[in-house]
Amino acid sequence: MSEAEVITRIENGVGRITLNRPKAIHALNRAMCEAMIEALLAWRADDEVQSVLVDHAGERGFCAGGDIRMIAESGAGDASEAKAFFKAEYQLNHLMFVYPKPITAVVDGIVMGGGVGISEPADVRIATERTTYAMPETGIGLFPDVGGGWFLPRLPGQTGVWLALTGARLKAADTVALGIHTHYVPSIDLDGLKAALLSNPANPLEEADRYACPTDPEEAPLDAHREAIDRLFAFDTVEAILAALQADGSDWALKQLDILKTKSPQSLKVSLRQIRTGATLNDFADNMAMEYALGGRIVQTHDFQEGVRAVIIDKDNAPKWSPAELSTVSDAQIDALFAPLPESEAWKPLIG
């Protein structure tokens, strides 16, 4: 593979995007987002391109997220570089969401954060036995952005709320059952699937259907907890969710309670409001504008800086959140984080 962090080319009527930053598990930076935007815009008007295929080089995973170190360093200052990254990343997410040609994403391995943002908008989303999906942002003082406010509340029941707040990791049997991914294809068959996509570029769904295998029901552990998730995560305040988990008292509920107590209280409240608000929106672009305003502010907060220090830089996994308790995160603080930006600063989709 070339040294380019994103490799784009046209093969047999398929516009191919291959993430090529394997040492960072293909974590996205601004240049990678802009390269993908440039290719997608060119292919949109190119009659030769009938569909798009997004995959990755190497075997470490599809995409572990965004360039968190850069975002934190920028957030410690004026956040201008972080905002520029979010602007490009969210424009890419939106472009994929409204793209007029079918997109297939082969999500083989780790897919978190930014990786979710460039796979969830795809029409065909292929998981394998190596797939591990998560939106773990509340553990670093962030929130499930890149469209999480749109996609998560549209999952069955309250599973999106549970995923957002706990940062739970799912394997393919669960992701396919929830509709996060559309097909399960064993990794050994991916080369055959990709060859089939290139031989039938106008009909990626037809080829995915042909290669898909059923998942093992025993490998879908979430099934046993769906009723509890829908009942215990249905509230509109984090405090009420925690109280419901405590009152339930089952081993599973108390485990979720313990997990939530390790997360940033501010992030928990932000994420729940993001999801409840996103559920009411009718336009994906409105969700991305909300997340852009929120993201530019969150990265400058104590909790994001501290979360990145604890999890990514020092790796002591002992963040000191502030405020440390849910009760001391005020509605006014959350309202300020969600306030719309002035028109001149607001996020907008790509024109045309």
Q: What is the pLDDT of residues 56-105, one digit of tens each?
A: 998 889 999 998 999 999 999 999 999 999 999 999 999 999 999 999 99
Predicted confidence (pLDDT) per residue in 142-196, tens digit: 999 999 999 999 999 999 999 999 999 999 999 999 999 999 999 999 999 999 9
pLDDT reported for residue 59: 83
Predicted confidence (pLDDT) per residue in 41-60, tens digit: 999 999 999 999 999 998 88
pLDDT reported for residue 1: 47
Report the mean per-residue pLDDT for the chain: 96
Structural domains in the chain, sorted by start:
6-338 (3.90.226.10)
Average of per-residue pLDDT across 23-27: 92
pLDDT reported for residue 219: 77
Average of per-residue pLDDT across 114-123: 98
**Is residue 216 over pLDDT 80?**
no
H/E stretch holding 279: none
Residues labelled catalytic: 66, 114, 137, 145
Predicted confidence (pLDDT) per residue in 129-143, tens digit: 999 999 999 999 999
pLDDT reported for residue 172: 95
268 in Cβ contact with 277 (< 8 Å): no
**Is residue 218 over pLDDT 80?**
no
Distance CA 261, CA 332 (A): 22
* AA identity, residue 159: T
Distance CA 88, CA 168 (A): 27
115 in Cβ contact with 26 (< 8 Å): yes
142 in Cβ contact with 298 (< 8 Å): yes
* AA identity, residue 339: A
**Is residue 220 over pLDDT 90?**
no
- Quickly state the pLDDT bin for 2 (edges 50, 70, 90): low
6 in Cβ contact with 17 (< 8 Å): yes
> Which two tokens mark 118?
């460039």
H/E stretch holding 198: helix 190-199
* HSE, side-chain direction, 13 A CA sphere, residue 302: 11
74-96 per-residue burial string, b: 16 or more CB within 10 A, e: under 16: bbeeebebbbebbbbbbbbbbbb
pLDDT reported for residue 84: 97
Q: Which of 199-208, 216-225, 328-337 has the lowest mean pLDDT?
A: 216-225
**pLDDT over 90, % of the chain:** 95
CB within 8 Å of 173: residues ≥ 6 apart: 184, 215, 216, 217, 219, 220
pTM score, two decimals? 0.96
> Which two tokens mark 43?
């292919």
pLDDT reported for residue 68: 92
**pLDDT over 70, % of the chain:** 99
